[in-house]
Amino acid sequence: MEHQTVTLKLPQNLLTRASSVAQAQDVTIGHLVRKLLSKEVDRQLNAKTSNRTDERLVAALQALLATQMALAESWEDLALRLAEEGYELRPAGGGLTMHRRPCGTRLCKASELGFPYRALVKRFGAGMPGHPHGALNLVFDRLPPHQDSLPLEGDATFEVIDFDA
């Protein structure tokens, strides 16, 4: 492997401590730096991204899109309203994710904004066109009239947000 020369400026106390560590391991400071840098670069490039979205981003999107989401009367209407603001919903697993248009950058899950797929299916009376779980609306036909939630795995419940109030 060919090495390139890099000049690194370090505070004297860090250089002194690094020298001690390198001597204890019987390696050069250069070897120590290469090893640590390689480890950090690998960690950064292979880092698993958190499924949790930045709360500030979610709050800003909620404030920006709440009216459009509340006024939408169908999937097509919702898509048009979101597009006017520069956003779009896309199927993701059993739910939806919010993306920036036209670049397609994924921003968050729709459920993090308070718009889970099941609630939108119930509200629009149909699944999102092209969604792999588009037939979820059939499940709602079997719910008793007084039940506003579906049981999920375990004992968790699903909360529906109603915008008709």
Per-residue model confidence (pLDDT) at position 97: 93
User: Per-residue pLDDT for 15 more than 70?
Assistant: yes
Whether residue 95 is found in the same domain as residue 131: yes
What pLDDT is recorded for position 86?
Answer: 95
Residues 61 and 38 in one domain: no
The pLDDT value recorded for residue 62 is 93
Residue 159: pLDDT band with limits 50, 70, 90:
low
| Same domain, residue pair 104 and 134 | yes
Q: Note whether residue 88 is domain-resident.
A: yes
Sign of torsion, CA 112 148 123 64? negative
- Quote the pLDDT of residue 137: 44
Mean pLDDT of 69-88: 95
| Average pLDDT score over residue span 24-36 | 88
Nearest to 64 by CA among 84, 85, 78: 85
Residues 62 and 118 in one domain: yes
The verdict on 35 and 80 lying in the same domain is no
Q: Are residues 71 and 131 in the same domain?
A: yes
Residue 160 pLDDT greater than 80, yes or no: no
Please report which confidence band the pLDDT of residue 136 belongs to, taking 50, 70 and 90 as the band edges: low
β-pair type (106-109, 87-92): unpaired
Residues 19 and 92 in one domain: no
Full residue range of the structural domain in which residue 28 is found: 12-43
Whether residue 50 has pLDDT greater than 70: no
Supply the pLDDT for residue 13: 92
Beta strands (DSSP E) in the chain are 87-92, 95-100, 106-109
* Nearest partner of 128 among 113, 144, 112, 110, judged by Cα: 110
If you average pLDDT over residues 56-61, what whole number do you get? 91
Question: What number is the average pLDDT over the span 93-113?
Answer: 91
Q: State the amino acid at position 155 in one-letter form.
A: D
